[in-house]
């Protein structure tokens, strides 16, 4: 990638101008004093002679006095300016030694005194380097011990059959195992559905610092997290959430179902600071369960007639033992034929597929109080908040449901009631027996029109919130009818008018939707009625019970094995410009192109990138792709990076590579060396590829000039910065190699920026903008 020179340091004109002013004053004062003393010693005749000599030349003398400062400026400026420039450079060299590269040695080009000072500083630097080496040795020893523990932990996690994700409270991934990658992305070995998942989540990597909502339904994860926080506030000792969700990006035709257990991680104060997600693929088991149910249903319906004939024949033979031989033979033939028929039907049912198996969605035990609280929270969220009262009646009852889907169903219904009917005094009530509670949305106002609920059943639930969109269209949720059938539930409306008349009617698959015949009580009573939307769930007994609040803790607690520093990283929710540089996630990238003129048709032919998270370079999370261009590579460009047109013949086009790169860069700050060049190519490809790179961008060339302004403009090339900071250069003019070098340089620049008071992204951008750089015309 070509580089333009960075800005030269600001001139020291104040220092030079002050020096010239002082020298001019001294010269003029000396000349004036000499002239005055000489004039006083002259005789009258000599005075008259000098007067006649100087008077015609007064203008020339005045011109000389005016030109004297300029002459002194030209003579003094190089000598005077060299001193502060040498001092500034010496200061910058010392900063590199103390903050970035202890092995760097100071080089002074100033006066003898400055060279002696530089030698003394080199002695201190040598002592500093010795101390740093001793500290590094101790750190390496500690890292070796920690590495042994880490390898034991990695070996343990690699043997787990469940996927493991450790996240902070904002859903940022802090740790994951190979099984989690196989389940969520489909790149693991031994995963029978890997290819399907790879297609569903192509370009959506699982990596440290990324949000779990990019792969799972963010709404379902947040719903479980809020449930945990609520149970913790209630004093529950073991606040654990279970839920099932489809893998994000999959559709109804190929639905990967994941059962997740969310376990909070507590800080020293006992407050949930993050969570662990244990992930298991239940797609096969759920489909097998559905297939068995379909098989049983087929066998039941297909054998009913044969069983009836067998029963009738056997009863006749039993009741009439003395019947004649012909009738007995006929009944015996019936028994034989029907038995053969049953055998054939059973063989056919077992050998032939049953068609699309019915998917039985796993359900979890939820208390009614938690469900009502989640519904209230959902209705208050976002614009147009709706208040929904709940008096805690029946809060301790249990339901076996998919709590997230039920909350979305009830919230959608409540919002529609509020919008269509201007429903007032909305409330949640619980009715029915304890084994099968019934949830009711109660309101005052107008009733629902007949057929309304039937129309609502065909609409989809918003299970992919707009607050966390994916690249592309979000996955549509199941329909209301699907959710009701999943729970064996039914819903209907009922009204109690001001006169006390009750008018119920069932919706869904039973005729008579809405209020049905109950509208005959009069419009006045209907407008003043108290209406109910009732949802009745099946009466399946709960399979487990979570410990009640205040109950005794489990006999054996989970040991604390590790302390993750990433739990405490800041800036996840603050404004980006106010976020400390050390707390941001970065994508450091570089491109190679067919030439240097993007507006004349030159294109990107290679993209390389790595990620920095929590101040650590993640070399394992990299992006390295080549691109088949629409034009030939220029000979001048090929001489630099060595990539020929022929070598790119089998590579994918830019329309495939850049969208994948955009997904790799999600939720990060972009970093590049001479970033204006690379960003220009990315910007010109926006209309062609649809990939938008509107991230904040930092340029290591400008940052180097900002922290080392005493260095000349030609001293901020990537190789020179790397040598100054002690960074090895590998793979020069290869996209990934340059990205790795730039990433290491950027990490070395961070402490130098901090020494100059540049600690946030906004301050870094302002410092970069303040550097006067040379512009290249594209």
pLDDT tens track for 165-224: 888 888 888 888 888 888 887 644 444 444 444 444 445 577 888 888 877 888 888 888
Task: Report in angstroms the alpha-carbon separations of 475 from 11, 416, 529, 602.
Answer: 59, 22, 39, 37
pLDDT band at 740 (very low <50, low <70, confident <90, very high): very high
What pLDDT, on the 0 to 100 scale, is given for residue 248?
Answer: 58
What pLDDT, on the 0 to 100 scale, is given for residue 127?
Answer: 76
Task: Specify the 3-state DSSP secondary structure of 443.
Answer: strand
* Least confident stretch, 155-159, 546-550, 671-675: 546-550
Given a cut of 50, whether residue 36 has pLDDT beyond it is yes
What pLDDT, on the 0 to 100 scale, is given for residue 611?
Answer: 93
Q: Tell me the C-alpha distance between 429 and 442, whole Å.
A: 7
What pLDDT, on the 0 to 100 scale, is given for residue 73?
Answer: 64
Choose between 335 and 582: higher pLDDT.
Answer: 582
Q: Tell me the C-alpha distance between 128 and 461, whole Å.
A: 64
What pLDDT, on the 0 to 100 scale, is given for residue 521?
Answer: 42
Q: Tell me the C-alpha distance between 513 and 772, whole Å.
A: 73
Mean of pLDDT values over 298-317: 74
Residue 213 makes CB contacts below 8 A (sequence gap 6+) with 171, 221, 222, 248, 468
pLDDT band at 253 (very low <50, low <70, confident <90, very high): very low
Mean pLDDT of the chain: 75
pLDDT band at 588 (very low <50, low <70, confident <90, very high): very high
Active site residues: 733
pLDDT band at 509 (very low <50, low <70, confident <90, very high): very low
Mean of pLDDT values over 4-9: 43
What pLDDT, on the 0 to 100 scale, is given for residue 556?
Answer: 39
What pLDDT, on the 0 to 100 scale, is given for residue 612?
Answer: 93
* Least confident stretch, 78-92, 138-152, 709-723: 78-92
271-299, pLDDT tens digit by residue?
888 999 988 887 766 666 666 666 666 66
pTM: 0.57
* Least confident stretch, 148-152, 374-378, 704-708: 148-152
What pLDDT, on the 0 to 100 scale, is given for residue 360?
Answer: 56
pLDDT band at 254 (very low <50, low <70, confident <90, very high): very low
What pLDDT, on the 0 to 100 scale, is given for residue 297?
Answer: 65
Mean of pLDDT values over 560-584: 57
Mean of pLDDT values over 604-626: 91
Beta bridge partners of residue 398, listed in sequence order:
367
What pLDDT, on the 0 to 100 scale, is given for residue 730?
Answer: 83
Given a cut of 60, whether residue 84 has pLDDT beyond it is yes
What pLDDT, on the 0 to 100 scale, is given for residue 353?
Answer: 53
753-769, pLDDT tens digit by residue?
998 889 999 899 888 88
* Least confident stretch, 78-87, 387-396, 484-493: 78-87
DSSP collapsed to 3 states, 229-281: HHHHHCCCCCCCEEEEEECCCCCCCCCCEEEEEEEEEECCCCCEEEEEEEEEE
Q: What percent of the chain has pLDDT over 70?
A: 72
Task: Report in angstroms the alpha-carbon separations of 345 from 127, 300, 306, 335, 354.
Answer: 90, 11, 10, 15, 13
314-360, pLDDT tens digit by residue?
888 778 788 888 888 888 888 888 787 777 777 776 665 544 444 45
Q: Tell me the C-alpha distance between 590 and 682, whole Å.
A: 11
Residue 336 makes CB contacts below 8 A (sequence gap 6+) with none
By DSSP bridging, strand 586-593 and strand 669-672 are parallel
Q: Tell me the C-alpha distance between 484 and 316, whole Å.
A: 46
CA-closest candidate to residue 336, choices 358, 359, 310, 369: 310
CA-closest candidate to residue 360, choices 234, 461, 215, 486: 486
673-724, pLDDT tens digit by residue?
988 899 999 999 999 999 999 888 999 998 988 888 877 777 788 888 998 8
Q: Count of CB atoms within 10 A of residue 174's CB?
A: 20
pLDDT band at 52 (very low <50, low <70, confident <90, very high): confident
Given a cut of 50, whether residue 62 has pLDDT beyond it is yes
Got the DSSP string for 388-409? -EE--TTTT-EEEE-HHHHHHH
Q: Tell me the C-alpha distance between 186 and 174, whole Å.
A: 19
Task: Report in angstroms the alpha-carbon separations of 126 from 10, 114, 123, 725.
Answer: 31, 18, 5, 16
Q: Tell me the C-alpha distance between 606 and 633, whole Å.
A: 12
What pLDDT, on the 0 to 100 scale, is given for residue 301?
Answer: 64
Q: Count of CB atoms within 10 A of residue 630's CB?
A: 11
Task: Map tokens 């929710």 to a residue.
Answer: 573
Q: Tell me the C-alpha distance between 102 and 120, whole Å.
A: 15
CA-closest candidate to residue 258, choices 235, 238, 278: 278
In the DSSP assignment, the letter for residue 590 is E
What pLDDT, on the 0 to 100 scale, is given for residue 372?
Answer: 87
The phi and psi torsions of 495 (rounded to 5 degrees) equal -135, 145
């Amino acid at each position: 990638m070509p580089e333009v020179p960075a800005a030269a340091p600001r001139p020291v004109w104040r220092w030079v101008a002050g020096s010239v002013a002082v020298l001019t004053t001294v010269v003029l004062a000396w000349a004036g004093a000499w002239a005055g003393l000489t004039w006083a010693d002259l005789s009258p005749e000599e005075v008259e002679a000098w007067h006649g000599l100087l008077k015609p030349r007064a203008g020339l003398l005045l011109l000389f006095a005016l030109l004297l400062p300029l002459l002194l400026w030209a003579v003094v400026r190089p000598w005077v300016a060299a001193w502060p420039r040498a001092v500034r450079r010496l200061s910058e060299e010392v900063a590199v030694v103390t903050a970035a590269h202890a092995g760097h040695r100071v080089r002074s080009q100033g006066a003898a005194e400055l060279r002696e000072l530089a030698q003394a500083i080199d002695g201190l630097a040598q002592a500093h380097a010795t101390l740093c080496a001793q500290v590094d040795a101790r750190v390496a020893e500690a890292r070796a011990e920690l590495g042994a523990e880490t390898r034991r932990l990695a070996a343990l996690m690699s043997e787990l059959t469940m996927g493991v994700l450790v996240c902070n409270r904002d859903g940022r991934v802090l740790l994951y195992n190979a099984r989690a990658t196989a389940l969520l992305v489909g790149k693991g070995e031994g995963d029978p559905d890997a290819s399907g998942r790879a297609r569903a989540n192509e370009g959506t990597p699982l990596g440290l610092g990324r949000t779990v909502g990019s792969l799972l339904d963010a709404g379902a994860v947040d719903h479980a997290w809020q449930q945990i926080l609520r149970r913790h506030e209630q004093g529950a000792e073991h606040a654990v959430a279970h839920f099932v969700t489809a893998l994000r990006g999959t559709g109804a035709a190929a639905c990967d179902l994941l059962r997740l257990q969310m376990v909070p991680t507590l800080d020293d104060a006992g407050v949930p600071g993050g969570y662990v997600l244990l992930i298991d693929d239940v797609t096969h088991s759920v489909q097998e369960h559905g297939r068995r149910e379909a098989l049983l249903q087929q066998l039941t319906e297909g054998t009913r007639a044969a069983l009836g004939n067998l029963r009738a024949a056997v009863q006749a033979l039993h009741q009439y033992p003395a019947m004649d031989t012909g009738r007995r033979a006929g009944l015996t033939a019936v028994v034989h034929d029907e038995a053969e028929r049953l055998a054939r039907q059973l063989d056919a049912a077992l050998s032939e597929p049953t068609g699309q198996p019915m998917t039985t969605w796993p359900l979890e035990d939820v208390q009614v109080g938690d469900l009502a609280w989640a519904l209230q929270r959902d209705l208050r969220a976002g614009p147009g908040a709706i208040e929904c009262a709940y008096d805690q009646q029946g809060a301790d009852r249990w339901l076996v449901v998919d709590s997230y889907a039920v909350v979305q169903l009830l919230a959608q219904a409540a919002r529609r009631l509020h919008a269509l009917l201007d429903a007032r005094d909305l409330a949640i009530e619980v009715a029915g027996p304890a084994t099968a509670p019934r949830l009711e949305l109660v309101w005052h106002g107008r009733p629902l029109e007949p057929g309304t609920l039937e129309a609502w059943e065909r609409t989809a639930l918003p299970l992919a919130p707009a607050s966390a969109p994916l690249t592309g269209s979000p996955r549509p949720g199941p329909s209301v009818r699907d959710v009701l059938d999943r729970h064996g539930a039914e819903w209907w409306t009922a009204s109690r008018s001001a006169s006390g008349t009750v008018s119920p009617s069932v919706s869904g698959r039973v005729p008579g939707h809405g209020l049905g015949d109950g509208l005959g009580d009069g419009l006045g009573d209907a407008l003043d009625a108290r209406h109910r939307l009732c949802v009745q769930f099946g009466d399946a007994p709960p399979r487990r019970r979570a410990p009640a609040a205040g109950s005794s803790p489990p006999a054996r607690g989970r040991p604390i094995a590790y302390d993750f520093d990433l739990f405490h990283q800041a800036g996840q929710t603050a404004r980006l410009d106010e976020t400390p540089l050390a707390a941001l996630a970065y994508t450091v990238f570089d491109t190679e192109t067919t030439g240097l003129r993007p507006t004349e048709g030159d294109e990107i032919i290679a993209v390389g990138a790595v990620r920095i998270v929590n101040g650590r370079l993640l070399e394992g999370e990299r992006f390295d792709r080549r691109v088949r261009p629409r034009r030939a590579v220029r000979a001048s460009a090929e001489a630099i990076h060595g990539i020929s047109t022929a070598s790119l013949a089998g590579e994918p086009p830019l329309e495939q590579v850049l969208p994948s790169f955009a997904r790799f860069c999600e939720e990060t700050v972009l970093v590049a060396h001479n970033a204006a060049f690379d960003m220009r190519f990315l910007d010109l490809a926006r209309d062609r590829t649809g990939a938008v790179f509107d991230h904040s961008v930092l340029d290591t060339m400008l940052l180097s000039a900002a922290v080392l302004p005493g260095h000349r403009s030609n001293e901020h090339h990537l190789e020179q910065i790397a040598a100054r900071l002690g960074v090895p250069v590998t793979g020069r003019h290869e996209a990934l190699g340059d990205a790795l070098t730039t990433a290491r340089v950027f990490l070395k620049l961070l402490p130098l920026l901090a020494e100059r008071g540049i600690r946030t992204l906004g301050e870094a951008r302002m410092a970069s903008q303040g550097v006067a750089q040379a512009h290249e015309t594209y």
